Structure 1
Amino acid sequence: MKAVTEGALLWQPSGERIEKAGVTRYRKWLEKEYGLAFQRHQDLWKWSVDQLETFWKSIWEYCGVISHTPYEQVLKSRTMPGAEWFAGSTLNYAEHVFRNSRKHKPALIFQSETVRQREVSWQELKEKTAKTAQYLKNLGVQKGDRVVAYMPSMPETVIAFLACASIGAVWSSCSPDFGNESVIERFKQIEPAVLFAVDGYSYNGRIFDKRKNITELQASLPTLKKTIVVPYMDFGEIKPDSSTVSFKEVLKEEAKLAFEPVPFDHPLWILFSSGTTGLPKPIVQGQGGILLEHLKILKVEQGVEPDDVYFWFTTTGWMMWNLLIGNLLAGATVVLYDGSPAYPDMDALWDLAEKTGMTHFGTSAGYISGCMKSGVKPKEKHDLSRLKAILSTGSPLTAEGFIWCYENVKADLWVVSTSGGTDLCTAFVGGSPVLPVHAGEIQTRGLGANIQAFDEEGKPVVNEVGELVICDPMPSMPLYFWGDEGNKRYFENYFDVYPGVWRHGDWIKIDEKGSCVIYGRSDSTINRQGVRMGTSEIYRAVEGIDEIIESLVIDLEHLGRQSFMPLFVALKQGRHMDETLKNRIKTEIRAKVSPRFVPDEIYEVEQIPKTLSGKKLEVPIRKILLGFPVDKVVNRGSMANPEALDFFIELAQTLNDQKTETE
């Protein structure tokens, strides 16, 4: 791989590509309908945040949003939290999906480690959604009732979700690789009426039987009226009883699909993202807000069209699955994959790209790094002639990751590094196919997303690293957290640092042309391949082990460094760390949280550093291990045990020396 410096020009879109881009069509429409002409993309972005209400009104009109009642005004106030969008309108997310139904293209293409490629037509998707929706209504499921899924990325999951959306029920999902305690912690908070689940799944060539897990979930969720099991693995027929039924039974009776009009801010789904303390946050997002945001990012910014074949490697426990399904709103064919990206080898997803005629390949920076290390050269073995774009998120894509795509996938390729979050279920900094691609840079801020970098005094800075903040509301921001009385947790998570301004928890640098670089988390949330997890869930699993007094987990994800997540444990007197205890810790995390949150290394320490009030010093320790000067990140006088820092200062020097040796 040739050497490349951050900011080097790697790709320039052709005049033809610029002309055909979705954002170009939108700009021409704006000029015709609103008399607005923008010479540069940055000018369009500036208008979209300055004239926020007019911008979102234009997206509503340009994308042809179907509302059964007219809205009274676009936005009542720019106040955060509590912004109210398109009050008075009534609509339905699923109705906007099925208006794209057509006979000559599949809606879904599915493949797993155990299922050969399978296509689901728009007609099949519509019929099965109708039957599932009717079955839910027959069970007594009504608008606002919660329906949850313990399912992988497969057609039945999409069908169940669209059925919920069509009747106004509220959807939530967890991937079956989550440990049961993590699933119960999430679902129990929202009191679901129905559970969809698979009997098992395959990953990396191994079959996982989840039937016992389903029984445990049923026992822990007393509000369940019915559990609907998809017979995914070859375990034999599911015997129906009063509490459980096979998905095959759901599809027996004919039904006609109908769409329940709901208010703009009626809940569509609940996504879970954890903070550093307490239970996972149940983030409620609205039908209208998600619809409008996903139409904007997919149809306008990315220019997704009905002939496109769109894929993102994701599980149902990550918001990227929800955004992936949003491509049905643009009429595109959505590719679902369930399994390991490295099984049977690192060519698995590139094989899928060729076989499906993929136009958009969505993945994580970690996957691209894995391809680099494995020496994979997709262009030498695969026909990727239809591929327009590689989109990456989950963690910052390095300059080397960019150049690998151009050298080993395709020279004429839009490489898109994006960043956003579960909290808004979108990318608020990302790409534009009309802009050049520079190594290591995110091309632009999202339209309608007033993203700034704030210094420590809460002032915007340019060409300096600062806190990523959102200065004005966006339609897909959370309506609230489920069960959060008085919006207390909601406020504490986003608005306690800069009142009235959303603080996201990332470090960002924005340059004068509007491009930006994300440098990793500025808080203590764990980010593993795009899935974010609060430290509290890991602590509960680890500190349940008898030998352990307490623990500290740190995510050292940072641009230009290999991701590294160490766990530090303080043991009871007379106990010492050995391989047996390390394996027990890993087993507990794998079973109770998720395999992806197993630490890279486990260290025994005498004490966990704490404040005088007893709070673990997660953020300061993270900064120390990343190489920040100690006196800049922690005041020893505010610590209960300042001597506990010594171990971490020594470890930081060791890690820095190792990094220097590898450069």
Structure 2
Amino acid sequence: MSDSLLWKPTPERIAGTQLTLFENRLRDSFPDIKPGYQGLHDWSVHYADDFWQALVDDLCIVGDWTGPVSAETPEVVGRRFFPEARLNFAENMLARGNPESLAIIEHREDGRRRQVTYETLRRQSQALAGFLKEQGVESGDRVAGFVPNGIEAVVGMLAASQLGAVWSSCSPDFGVNGVIDRFGQIKPKVLIAIDGYCYNGKTIDTRQRVQDIVSSLPTLKRLIRIHNADSCPWGGDVEGLDWEEAILHAPETHYKRMPFNDPLYILYSSGTTGVPKCIVHGIGGTLIQHLKELSLNTDVRPGDRMFYYTTCGWMMWNWLVSSLGLGATLILFDGSPFSPTPSILWDIAEKENIRIFGASAKYYAACEKEGLSPGKSHNLGTLDALLSTGSPLSHESFDYLYREVKSDVCVSSISGGTDVVSCFALGCPNLPVYRGELQCLGLAMDVAFADDDGNPMATGKGELICRNAFPAMPVGFWDDPGQNRFRDAYFSRFPGIWAHGDYGELCPHEATDELPEQVGAIIHGRSDATLNPGGVRIGTAEIYRQVEKVESVLEALAIGQKWQDDVRVVLFVRLREGVTLDDALIKIIRDTIRSNTTPRHVPARIIQVPDIPRTISGKIVELAVRNVVHGEPVKNQDALANPEALRHFDNLPELQ
């Protein structure tokens, strides 16, 4: 745990945040709330129903708000929030934006830039909703998107949710089997798909994949075809209606208000250990949780330029899009984050006056390896917050962002996941930033880290748990009527307590004359990827943090290999072009790890590989590599962006 203070907001800055304004209004009704974020968090956990009702009122969330805040049940897993309320997600997404203000600015790597106002977004989504309704789409039906991160994806989601239908999307870099493994389970009635896309300077033709997907979805009534790549025009082989025609349909102007807990999104687990789980998220829970996190923890305001580098296959897309519900302007990008130049995302940040910029921890580490200094090469005067997720943001990446991007900015590492389509620990504009730490725990979420028996610990590493119900808990899994698979996934480890599968620790900071009381967190990696040499648990992020300091190493992956009735740590490294792993470099890596951690962290074997497998959303897959090393099957390689990389780990003589 590090007490290295990197940044703190000024009193003037704190006074103007959405969080401060909310706290001031809240204390008019609840004067006993202790000052500061930690006081608000403690109160929100103990009086969660009061908190959620106050949030609905304060944000003026549109709906029919009748009945209690939550339905009391003896189990956390069965509790439902606002069981009698009704609302519409699309109606709320379009309620705050000034009609003439920009809702979306879209960029892609080939230089195309498009934009739409809130009025245009409303007209297009209502027209598409009218077309979907004509095709027989009703509440509960599924509308699927095989789409890039662009305007059409947002319009498609809004049109589906306007009718009370369920939106689910895959990015076009998914293979055919990966898409069918997902959409085949949920049986969509309409598919929206593209003919091709550009990535890393190449145009990828998706027409054959779309044809194969359509032929594998017997419930499909209609294909809507988006022309996205000039060199891949739709032909007669793939029958469907063109997007331009669909959005000229007579509009559906009615927003169907649905029960709070009816489904809105279906997201998917990574699927690297089997067929992906279809995780169903509710309308109201998603909306209220996202608006809480975006408004109070991220300080998104009407008119803000909000960016996150993501695809439609990652939950950060859903999180980003909810910024519309606060009247912000979405900045979307489709393509490689390093094409046509390594600075492309920072170019966009400067050009579009982005205030809140988000990307994965791996992106920031790659920027440092590339030697980028955006703060020197770009005018980032409007930038107030840098967000990071996908994997733990290393201490060194914190240093890099403050040194090379901007010194006066709130760097917020956030952690949650597809399972909750939101966060357990995240940022706060009113709190200091400490090196390597997530600033705070989510409001009204009783998050802790537990020992092996489920007992919460004030200090020390353990399993991330949440001891109370919260609106963003999934409605359940698709086609799991008894909720047996859902309960087994999250509530079997510690009965009645959500076990998320992350391994980390709390970071308490006592109040001083200059700094507030604060409880942050450090995430050390996924629980199922922790290493156990000699029975001592080690988070993989603890090793990666040290390896990333070595200039020659681009990225690394660590596993625990069964060895002589114990486990030994094996580290795989991908090195810079032209660099070969030799005894001298192995010694540098081992010495770096040993001097900054413990001898147990030092790998027994270090092996160079040309590539490291990762999911389509960019996360490295330790479990898949561990299976290959142990001669066990990797059940669903279509979930990987580069499944061919797995062969580099098979039957390695160094591990025999």
TM range (shorter): 0.7 to 0.9
1:129 aligns with 2:125: yes
1:374 pairs with 355, 359, 370, which one?
A: 370
Q: What residue number does 2:275 align with?
A: 279
8 A contact 1:238–1:245 mirrored in 2: no
Q: What residue number does 2:642 align with?
A: none
8 A contact 2:361–2:393 mirrored in 1: yes
Q: What residue number does 2:576 align with?
A: none
Q: Once superposed, which parts of structure 1, at least 4 consecutive aligned residues long, lie more than 6 Å away?
A: 566-569, 585-590, 597-607, 647-650
Shift of residue 249, structure 1, vs aligned partner:
1.4
1:50 aligns with 2:46: yes
**For the residues of structure 2 that align with 1:606 and 1:13, how far apart are their CA atoms?**
47
Shift of residue 237, structure 1, vs aligned partner:
5.2
8 A contact 2:207–2:232 mirrored in 1: no
Map 1:101-180 → 2, pairs under 5 A: 101-180=97-176
2:240 pairs with 227, 240, 244, which one?
A: 244
Indicate the SS of the match to 2:295. helix
Map 1:308-387 → 2, pairs under 5 A: 308-387=304-383
**For the residues of structure 2 that align with 1:399 and 1:498, how far apart are their CA atoms?**
31
The structure-2 alpha-carbon separation of the partners of 1:406 and 1:113, relative to structure 1 and needing over 3 Å to count, comes to same
Indicate the SS of the match to 1:327. helix
Indicate the SS of the match to 1:335. strand
Shift of residue 114, structure 1, vs aligned partner:
2.5
1:96 pairs with 68, 92, 98, which one?
A: 92
Map 1:456-495 → 2, pairs under 5 A: 456-495=452-491
Give CA-to-partner distance per residue, 1:183-242, whole Å, 9 cap, x none: 100100001101001100000000000000000001111100011110000146545799
Q: What residue number does 2:579 align with?
A: none
Shift of residue 609, structure 1, vs aligned partner:
7.2
The letter of the residue matching 2:462 is: G
Q: What residue number does 1:224 align with?
A: 220
**For the residues of structure 2 that align with 1:337 and 1:606, how far apart are their CA atoms?**
35
8 A contact 1:564–1:600 mirrored in 2: no
1:189 pairs with 182, 185, 189, which one?
A: 185
Shift of residue 113, structure 1, vs aligned partner:
1.6
8 A contact 1:144–1:169 mirrored in 2: yes
Q: What residue number does 2:399 align with?
A: 403
8 A contact 2:273–2:624 mirrored in 1: no
Q: Which moved more, 1:175-184 or 1:244-253?
A: 244-253
The structure-2 alpha-carbon separation of the partners of 1:255 and 1:378, relative to structure 1 and needing over 3 Å to count, comes to same
Indicate the SS of the match to 1:485. coil
1:68 pairs with 64, 89, 92, which one?
A: 64
Shift of residue 441, structure 1, vs aligned partner:
0.8
Q: Which moved more, 1:318-327 or 1:457-466?
A: 457-466
Q: Which moved more, 1:597-606 or 1:105-114?
A: 597-606
Shift of residue 255, structure 1, vs aligned partner:
1.6
The structure-2 alpha-carbon separation of the partners of 1:209 and 1:266, relative to structure 1 and needing over 3 Å to count, comes to same
Q: What residue number does 1:14 align with?
A: 10
The structure-2 alpha-carbon separation of the partners of 1:209 and 1:438, relative to structure 1 and needing over 3 Å to count, comes to same
The structure-2 alpha-carbon separation of the partners of 1:339 and 1:459, relative to structure 1 and needing over 3 Å to count, comes to same
The structure-2 alpha-carbon separation of the partners of 1:319 and 1:598, relative to structure 1 and needing over 3 Å to count, comes to closer
Q: TM-score, normalised by structure 1?
A: 0.81
8 A contact 2:313–2:617 mirrored in 1: no
Q: What residue number does 1:452 align with?
A: 448
Q: What residue number does 1:523 align with?
A: 528
8 A contact 1:132–1:251 mirrored in 2: yes
**For the residues of structure 2 that align with 1:497 and 1:436, how far apart are their CA atoms?**
34
The structure-2 alpha-carbon separation of the partners of 1:522 and 1:34, relative to structure 1 and needing over 3 Å to count, comes to same
8 A contact 2:97–2:326 mirrored in 1: no
8 A contact 1:276–1:525 mirrored in 2: no
**For the residues of structure 1 that align with 2:385 and 2:67, how far apart are their CA atoms?**
36
Shift of residue 350, structure 1, vs aligned partner:
0.2
8 A contact 1:567–1:599 mirrored in 2: no
8 A contact 2:476–2:486 mirrored in 1: yes
Shift of residue 556, structure 1, vs aligned partner:
4.8
The letter of the residue matching 2:442 is: G
Map 1:442-591 → 2, pairs under 5 A: 442-513=438-509, 514-524=519-529, 556-558=540-542, 560-561=545-546, 562=548, 564-565=556-557
Indicate the SS of the match to 1:511. strand
Q: How many residues align?
A: 572
Shift of residue 16, structure 1, vs aligned partner:
0.9
**For the residues of structure 2 that align with 1:222 and 1:467, how far apart are their CA atoms?**
42
The letter of the residue matching 2:545 is: G
The structure-2 alpha-carbon separation of the partners of 1:567 and 1:176, relative to structure 1 and needing over 3 Å to count, comes to farther
**For the residues of structure 2 that align with 1:96 and 1:392, how far apart are their CA atoms?**
26
The letter of the residue matching 2:475 is: L
**For the residues of structure 2 that align with 1:138 and 1:567, how far apart are their CA atoms?**
52
Q: What residue number does 1:641 align with?
A: none
What 5-or-longer segments of structure 2 have no aligned partner?
A: 510-518, 532-538, 549-554, 562-608, 636-650
Q: TM-score, normalised by structure 2?
A: 0.82
Shift of residue 564, structure 1, vs aligned partner:
3.1
Identity of aligned residues (%): 37
8 A contact 1:82–1:479 mirrored in 2: no
Indicate the SS of the match to 2:387. strand
The letter of the residue matching 1:172 is: S
**For the residues of structure 1 that align with 2:168 and 2:270, how far apart are their CA atoms?**
15
Give CA-to-partner distance per residue, 1:62-105, whole Å, 9 cap, x none: 11122235133434236221211101111001111111231442
8 A contact 1:566–1:601 mirrored in 2: no
Shift of residue 53, structure 1, vs aligned partner:
1.4
The letter of the residue matching 2:502 is: D
Indicate the SS of the match to 2:91. helix
The structure-2 alpha-carbon separation of the partners of 1:604 and 1:88, relative to structure 1 and needing over 3 Å to count, comes to closer
Q: What residue number does 2:24 align with?
A: 28
Shift of residue 253, structure 1, vs aligned partner:
2.7
**For the residues of structure 2 that align with 1:420 and 1:237, how far apart are their CA atoms?**
39
Q: Which moved more, 1:454-463 or 1:67-76?
A: 67-76
8 A contact 2:529–2:559 mirrored in 1: no
Q: What residue number does 2:630 align with?
A: 608
Indicate the SS of the match to 2:153. helix
**For the residues of structure 2 that align with 1:604 and 1:259, how far apart are their CA atoms?**
49
8 A contact 1:127–1:257 mirrored in 2: no
1:270 aligns with 2:262: no
The structure-2 alpha-carbon separation of the partners of 1:242 and 1:381, relative to structure 1 and needing over 3 Å to count, comes to closer
